Amino acid sequence: MTVNDKLINSAIRVFSKNGYRDGKVAEIVRGAKANIAAVNYYFGSKEKLFAQVLRKAFAVAEQTHPISGGLPHDAPVELKLAAFARAIVRRTLDKGPSGDYDRIMSKTVHSPGSPIDTICDEVTTLKVIPLRPLLAEYLGDTDEVVYAVATLNFLSLASVVAKHPFVIDRIFVDSPTQDALEEFIELQVTAIIAATKSLKKQK
């Protein structure tokens, strides 16, 4: 494994535990067994390393919970939207490496001093751009405000657990069974599709 890869993997662990602001470069390089100058040498800055971390963590999540859901290209668009939503909800509940992206985002996005421009750019590339053609097909000819609201509703509802992990503890008194989690996931997907459907033909 290259030093570059070791730094990214170490940074994923650090950022998923502490977020961007409290994720220390010293801890990242220590985990990668590199020297303190390595981050600037390989990435240019902590913020540029963070962008690479988001992409790598998202790619890992995509392998386990693909937003395509494995559906054929000609599947009905509502099924494609449901698969997209289901994948994101599953990622927010995943306690393994496939949940790292959402843990990083939940600990970073509302934290003062976080690189908001970088976060917005990466979310746009990784989620908004792939979602847009599905929303365009589903909602039909409408204006940009409706598309923006639909995107915001969709992604916010899908990632609510990552932003508020205590939700699961409040819903389930004990550790939820897999069947209970699956039911929860499908209820979330139903809510996301219903919210999106309500915007059809809106101006």
Domains of the chain by start residue, with CATH: 47-197 (1.10.357.10)
CB atoms within 10 A of CB 99: 23
Count of residues making up the chain:
203
Cβ–Cβ under 8 Å, residues 174 and 168: no
- Report residue 65: phi and psi, to 5°: -125, 75
Closest alpha carbon to 157 in 85, 67, 51: 85
Summarised one tens digit per residue, pLDDT across range 86-145 is: 999 999 999 999 999 999 999 998 888 889 999 999 999 999 999 999 999 999 988 899
Cβ–Cβ under 8 Å, residues 136 and 80: no
Ranges of beta strands (E only) in 21-139 are none
Residue with tokens 């999106």: 196
pLDDT reported for residue 141: 83
pLDDT reported for residue 5: 94
Report the predicted TM-score, pTM, of the whole model to 2 decimal places: 0.90
Q: How far apart are CA 69 and CA 83, in angstroms?
A: 5
DSSP state of 80: H
pLDDT reported for residue 78: 96
Q: How many Cα atoms occupy the beta-carbon half-sphere of 92 within 13 Å?
A: 29
pLDDT reported for residue 156: 92
Residues of the chain with pLDDT under 50: none
- Coil, strand, or helix at residue 11? helix
Cβ–Cβ under 8 Å, residues 162 and 92: yes
Cβ–Cβ under 8 Å, residues 20 and 111: yes
CA 184, chain centre distance (Å): 18
